[in-house]
């Protein structure tokens, strides 16, 4: 049995990126912030960019939550999450559909960010 060291390293990098994203996102939501530290924004951007080439579909629900709710001033979160969703469009759409079915009590079809998620789903279907 051979072990692909490169694949193991990629999985570890992927896990570390998701861990960083979750830590920053959870802290941001917990603090109900409209801004975030420059350090967190840089870490978030680097972590999201690292997932553009390889991201297990099990992490897509987390990334969709980030797409919806991590919105510090002047940080283009959606721009960084979209390529990850597009990399495997069918998995991205599946994760979006699942999130739509699991709509939170306070979310409505006609207010952001939930309405934006509906638009994203429709846009991805056209691509």
Q: How does residue 9 score in pLDDT terms, banded at 50, 70 and 90?
A: low
| Per-residue pLDDT at 91 exceeds 90 | yes
Task: Judge contact between 87 and 52, C-beta under 8 A.
Answer: yes
Tell me what percent of the residues of the chain surpass a pLDDT of 70: 92
**For the ranges 10-14, 68-72, 78-82, 105-109, which has the lowest average pLDDT?**
10-14
- Rounded CA gap, 22 and 29, in Å? 10
Full-model pTM: 0.88
| Per-residue pLDDT at 119 exceeds 50 | yes
Average pLDDT, the chain: 90
The mean per-residue pLDDT over the stretch 71-86 comes to: 93
């Amino acid at each position: 049995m051979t072990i692909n060291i490169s694949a193991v390293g990629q999985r570890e990098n992927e896990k570390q990126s998701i861990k960083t994203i979750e830590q920053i996102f959870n802290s941001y939501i917990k603090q109900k912030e409209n801004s975030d530290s420059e350090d967190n924004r840089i870490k978030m951007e680097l972590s999201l960019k690292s997932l553009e080439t390889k991201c297990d579909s099990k992490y897509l629900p987390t990334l969709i939550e980030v797409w919806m709710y991590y919105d510090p001033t002047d940080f283009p979160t959606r721009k960084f999450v979209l390529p990850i969703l597009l990399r495997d469009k069918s998995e991205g759409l599946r994760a979006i559909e699942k999130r739509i079915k699991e709509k939170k009590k306070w979310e409505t079809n006609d207010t952001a960010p939930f309405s934006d998620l509906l638009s994203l789903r429709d846009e991805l279907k056209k691509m």
